[in-house]
């Protein structure tokens, strides 16, 4: 059921039969893209499965949900007026605060009138003769568009655990990515929670405070750092607002979309004392990136990484009183190779009498039963089960739409051995289709609002370029795509990321090819490459004048 303040589709508003651009998704990507397209006087329609804007922050309403990039950095930069007028409350805002921001942006830029909510795109097929996409929805709409943009999100296609009996449980079940819009009260309940990625780490301390009893089922422990969240002070907001332009420039040129002072030393060339002092400062700072970027080689050298790993293990053992629980919470994989989490009292929560950790590496789940969860050690009875089991990341929301390009080939078939893109923006065989933060771009290794704005601007400029030059189609050349895929693999191979069985690698989805999907070369370097490609007349793309071009007069 949707909350009363949401804009469900009402009235007989007709979906247009033909537009310049069809956009799928009304998260931050789809919202900004719609704004850009309108500025270019292009007609656009946005389809959104949810009943309001916000994407991630519309769906993930679980207790404790927060962003782990600071609010003043995790925000749009395209409008100085928006930057200046919006008042963030917390250093790391809660899901309701970010959703409020998304709604504010939608209202301020009058976005809703071109968004069709409660509408899922089920299929999109490219018509080679007309050089157009035919987009179909679950409401029976069929729209023809010159361009298709998948703004469907890297983390929006949720998944459940692969255990038998999910449908048998008689109690209440929840998935963190489909949390009810009404408050959920776990008061007096015995709750089982499966999954200890970011959503689990954020929700466990909050659910533990409400529930009579909470049992956490963990397959792989997370590295989690204290968020040290707090309300923002007026003086720091004012400083930030005064310095926004320089800050945005630094964000765009940085590695992760979050400016940090570059490290100058190897973790192995300093004394233990010096290193501990630096790590301690990073731990105290309440930041996701300060620990990983404290030394030049933590992300690329196993021995250097071991120093950070040992430091966090030490913290876990210090905080968690029960020695076995502490050992179970210490990750074996290198620090930072799965997405680290920011938390509020995560490890401390395991000192509560009503919280228990089950290590699934020792006693795996056998099945979900009518009463609860059965592991190889026995059955646990619950009133509610929470699945914090994450997403079919980066490709799930793309390959689960029946997208067919040249010759009727589906994207799913084309990517059966792993995603293949040029710049993470487009894929050979799928002309005039763009992805926002697709696989092969920095995406989930970055502050995503920075990456989203960069992709949207690049795509909008590319469409503008075609129109101004009387061109109709843009499509990656296969050899340019192959070279980009090789480059993404090469750069990924220099890092320690491929050493963990993470969702970056597709390892959380059985049968999914193991490929390191994001581009690890850094936001700033990646932007330079994209800009160079455009400046060289879209090098590596084939631009074609075939078909019914819609040339607009050049004004430059």
Binding site for ligand FAD (CB under 6 A): 24-30, 47-50, 55-56, 58, 60, 65, 67-69, 74, 120-121, 151-156, 198-199, 397, 401, 436-437, 447-448, 452
Q: Residue 255: helix, strand or coil by DSSP?
A: coil
DSSP output for 494-541: HSSGGGS--GGGTTTSTT------S-TT-HHHHHHHHHHHHHTTSTTE
- Residue 54 CB, shortest distance to ligand FAD, in Å, is 7
- Residue 450 CB, shortest distance to ligand FAD, in Å, is 8
Q: How far apart are CA 101 and CA 32, in angstroms?
A: 13
- Residue 551 CB, shortest distance to ligand FAD, in Å, is 31
Q: How far apart are CA 103 and CA 99, in angstroms?
A: 6
- Tell me if 351 sits within 8 A of 320, measured CB to CB: yes
- Tell me if 68 sits within 8 A of 257, measured CB to CB: no
Closest by alpha carbon to 401, among 166, 153, 180? 153
Closest by alpha carbon to 25, among 5, 44, 3, 6? 44
| 294 alpha carbon, distance to own chain's centre | 24
- Residue 420 CB, shortest distance to ligand FAD, in Å, is 20
- Residue 52 CB, shortest distance to ligand FAD, in Å, is 9
- Whichever of 296 and 400 has its CB closer to ligand FAD, that residue is 400
- Whichever of 103 and 313 has its CB closer to ligand FAD, that residue is 103
What backbone phi and psi angles, to 5 degrees, belong to 323?
-60, -40
- Residue 445 CB, shortest distance to ligand FAD, in Å, is 10
- Whichever of 304 and 520 has its CB closer to ligand FAD, that residue is 520
- Whichever of 27 and 476 has its CB closer to ligand FAD, that residue is 27
| 302 alpha carbon, distance to own chain's centre | 26
- Residue 140 CB, shortest distance to ligand FAD, in Å, is 14
- Whichever of 28 and 133 has its CB closer to ligand FAD, that residue is 28
- Whichever of 40 and 123 has its CB closer to ligand FAD, that residue is 123
Locate 55 and state its tokens. Answer: 């994407």
Q: At what angle do helices 95-108 and 28-39 cross, to 10 degrees?
A: 10
Q: How far apart are CA 278 and CA 240, in angstroms?
A: 25
Q: How far apart are CA 333 and CA 65, in angstroms?
A: 25
- Whichever of 123 and 270 has its CB closer to ligand FAD, that residue is 123
- Residue 538 CB, shortest distance to ligand FAD, in Å, is 23
Q: How far apart are CA 291 and CA 308, in angstroms?
A: 8
- Whichever of 71 and 432 has its CB closer to ligand FAD, that residue is 71
């Amino acid at each position: 059921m949707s909350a009363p303040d949401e804009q469900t589709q009402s009235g007989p508003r007709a979906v247009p039969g033909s537009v310049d651009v069809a956009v799928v998704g009304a998260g931050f990507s789809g919202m900004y893209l719609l704004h850009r397209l309108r500025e270019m006087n292009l007609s656009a329609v946005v389809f959104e499965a949810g009943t309001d804007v916000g994407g991630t922050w519309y769906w993930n309403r679980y207790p404790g949900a927060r962003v782990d990039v600071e609010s003043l950095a995790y925000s749009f930069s395209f409008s100085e007026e928006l930057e200046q007028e919006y008042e963030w409350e917390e250093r790391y805002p809660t899901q309701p605060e970010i959703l409020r921001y998304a709604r504010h942006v939608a209202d301020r830029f009058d976005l809703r009138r071109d968004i069709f909510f409660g509408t899922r795109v089920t299929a999109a097929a490219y018509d080679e003769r007309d050089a157009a996409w035919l987009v179909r929805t679950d409401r029976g709409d069929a729209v023809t568009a010159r361009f298709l943009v998948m703004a469907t999100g890297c983390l929006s296609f949720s998944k459940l655990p692969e255990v038998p009996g999910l449908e048998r449980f008689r109690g209440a079940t929840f998935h963190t990515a489909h949390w009810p819009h009404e408050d959920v009260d776990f008061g007096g309940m015995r709750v089982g929670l499966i999954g200890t990625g970011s959503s689990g780490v954020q929700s466990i301390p909050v659910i533990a405070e409400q529930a009579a009893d909470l049992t956490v089922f963990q397959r792989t422990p997370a590295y989690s750092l204290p968020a040290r969240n707090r309300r923002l002070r007026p003086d720091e907001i004012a400083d930030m607002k005064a310095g926004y332009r320089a800050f945005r420039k630094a964000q765009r040129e940085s590695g992760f979309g979050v400016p940090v002072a570059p490290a100058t030393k190897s973790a192995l060339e300093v004394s233990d004392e010096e290193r501990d002092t630096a790590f301690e400062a990073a731990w105290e700072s309440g930041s996701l990136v300060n620990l990983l970027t404290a030394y030049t080689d933590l992300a690329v050298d196993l021995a250097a990484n071991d120093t950070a790993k040992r430091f966090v293990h030490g913290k876990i053992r210090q905080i968690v009183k029960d020695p076995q629980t502490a050992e179970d919470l210490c990750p074996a994989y290198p620090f930072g190779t799965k997405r680290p989490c920011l938390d509020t009292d995560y490890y401390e929560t395991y000192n509560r009498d009503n919280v228990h950790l089950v290590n699934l590496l020792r006693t795996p789940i056998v099945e979900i039963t009518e009463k609860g969860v059965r592991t190889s050690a026995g059955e646990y009875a619950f009133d509610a089960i929470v699945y914090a089991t994450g997403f079919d990341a980066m490709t799930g929301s793309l390959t689960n739409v029946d997208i067919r390009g040249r010759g009727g080939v589906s994207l799913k078939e084309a990517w059966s051995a792993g995603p293949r893109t040029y710049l993470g923006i487009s894929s050979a065989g799928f002309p005039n289709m763009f992805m926002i933060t697709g696989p092969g771009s920095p995406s989930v290794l970055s502050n995503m609002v920075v990456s989203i704005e960069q992709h949207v601007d690049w795509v909008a400029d590319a469409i503008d370029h075609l129109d101004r030059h009387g061109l109709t189609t843009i499509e990656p050349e296969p050899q340019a795509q192959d070279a980009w895929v090789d480059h993404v693999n090469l750069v990924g191979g220099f890092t320690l990321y491929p050493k963990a069985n993470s969702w970056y690698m597709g390892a959380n989805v059985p049968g999914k090819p193991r490929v390191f999907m994001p581009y690890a070369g850094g936001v700033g370097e990646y932007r330079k490459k994209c800009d160079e490609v455009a400046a060289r007349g879209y090098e590596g793309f084939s631009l074609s004048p075939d078909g019914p071009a819609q040339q607009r007069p050049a004004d430059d």
